[in-house]
Amino acid sequence: MDTRHEHRRPVVVTERGSVRGVTEEGGVAAFRGIPYAASPVGDLRFSAPRPHPGWNGVRDAARSGPEAPQGHSRLEAIMGPRELHGDEAGCLTLNVWVPEGALDAGAPPRPVLMWIHGGGYTTGSGGWDLYDGGRLAALGGIIVVTVNYRLGPLGYLQLPELGADNLGSQDQAAALRWVRESVAAFGGDPEAITVGGQSAGAYSALALALDAGTRGLVRRVIGESGPWGLEPQEPAEAADAAAHYLRLLDLPGAGALRGLPVERLLEAYGRLVVERARPGNTAPPTYPVRGGALTATGWREAVAGGALRGTDVLLGGTQDEMTAFLTVTSFDEPLDVVAEQLFRAGITEIAGQCARDGSPAYVYRFTRRPPGEDDGGGIALGATHCAELPFLFGTFDAFRDAPMLGRVDAADRALGRAFGGALAAFTATGSPNGEGLGPWGPWLPSLTGVPEPEPGAATASGPGPEVMRFGPATR
């Protein structure tokens, strides 16, 4: 591979073909909509990702590819509305942001963050402006990559007769392999790849760090608000969901699915979501299946078996995770109890095992809440699920209609620089400490068999747990 750097439209030559990006604010070069796999259309619908055949000439990489086909997010009430332009053709793409100077001849290779969006394995896109990686790339001097993957029925229906097996997760693995093989052409270091994500993306990032086929490609992992209390879907449950879905489409078997319009597939999936909904259940009807691709076991067994040994880990969540889901379902137990079960207990379990394995993890808690929030009427969101995303990427304008964000001031932007800076520093060095950041220590529970305490206030030094707090006090 070689690289040519033009003034405003840099061209990078990869093994599949050349791409022409754009130079944006802060001198960051953006390359969007790069295919990492062939379009999953025709006979490739419900098939494992196949290599992209490549292209002749120079491909324009100024715009992101379409999102994977999907319905509207159930969290639009807190994140803001989103126009959808999904298309199976061209949806398996990724986006690369390169900090200024990284494409220069002789420049040292930069650490890489491959980010996997959340959305309950049902919605989202790495190409949306919510996840624009330019500011984070400039802030940390790192390469940022965001990826699309198949969602909902196209990504997670388990259909053995078609060979459909955790296809969205297989897409993520294919994207990771593309990054390993191609990121050097963009000035990245293929030996310093961090996989990160939020919510379902956090769960997915950890799966890549644990799976025998991909963990050798992962140096570090970041998990934001992962639903660690959600066990992989059991095969019998996945089979029942698939059978229910086929009944909704009035199909005797899965063979006809490849020929149906995608709109019919999405409409039936929307009905499946409604018919399988249960109070207190936030899980989608289809998600990674135990024993399938990238999910040979649950994360608990893999972590206990030492699969994260030698991998740098940073985990965390928001103070009020569950308020976001009050627009989706109701809960019989207090929200803090549900949050402990679904989100927080897994953080301390993973971090504790990392410490016992000799590679302690860093743990954070995001506490900033929308200003002027009225606790007396409506849902008080607090620091709800997804609230940290605009602070990580610095994409406040993209979230301007999000109730979870509210009015943004200079202190919020400073908080964003602190939060994004800490995660970028971790991507680069394995520690969130850096210039103007920290000092923070890792999570160090007792190694004597004493039960690990719940994350509490950060300690200045010494043994015991330490939680990085990102909120008003950080400012």
Domains (range + CATH), the chain: 3-230+293-474 (3.40.50.1820)
Q: Which residues of the chain have pLDDT under 70?
A: 1-7, 374-379, 445-465, 473-475
What pLDDT, on a 0 to 100 scale, did the predictor assign at position 448?
41
From the list 73, 385, 431, 466, the catalytic residue is 385
Check: CB of residue 363 under 8 Å from CB of residue 106: no
How far is C-alpha 67 from the geometric centre of its chain's CA atoms? Answer: 15
What pLDDT, on a 0 to 100 scale, did the predictor assign at position 378?
56
Reference 123, options 83, 178, 173, 177; nearest CA is 83
From the list 67, 224, 321, 340, the catalytic residue is 321
Check: CB of residue 309 under 8 Å from CB of residue 258: no
Beta-bridge partner residues of 188 = 110
Check: CB of residue 415 under 8 Å from CB of residue 475: yes
To the query of whether residue 385 is one of the catalytic residues in this protein, the response is yes
What pLDDT, on a 0 to 100 scale, did the predictor assign at position 461?
33
What pLDDT, on a 0 to 100 scale, did the predictor assign at position 7?
57
Name the amino acid, one letter, at 445.
Answer: P
To the query of whether residue 125 is one of the catalytic residues in this protein, the response is no
From the list 39, 199, 204, 431, the catalytic residue is 199
What pLDDT, on a 0 to 100 scale, did the predictor assign at position 462?
34
3-state secondary structure the chain: CCEECCCCCCEEECCCCEEECEECHHHCEEEEEEECCCCCCHHHCCCCCCCCCCCCCEEECCCCCCCCCCCCCCCHHHHCCCCCCCCCCCCCEEEEEECCCCCCCCCCCEEEEEEECCCCCCCCCCCCHHHCCHHHHHHHCCEEEEECCCCHHHHHCCEHHHCECCHHHHHHHHHHHHHHHHHHHHCEEEEEEEEEEECHHHHHHHHHHHCCCCHHHCCEEEEECCCCCCCCECHHHHHHHHHHHHHHCCCCCHHHHHHCCHHHHHHHHHHHHHHCCCCCCCCCCCCCECCECCECCCHHHHHHCCCCCCCEEEEEEECEHHHHHHHCCCCCCCHHHHHHHHHHHHHHHHHHHHHHCCCCCEEEEECCCCCCCCCCCCCCCCCECCCCHHHHHCCCHHHCCCCCCCCCCHHHHHHHHHHHHHHHHHHHHCCCCECCECCCCCCECCCCCCCCCCCCCCCCCCCECCCEEECHHHC
Check: CB of residue 268 under 8 Å from CB of residue 254: no
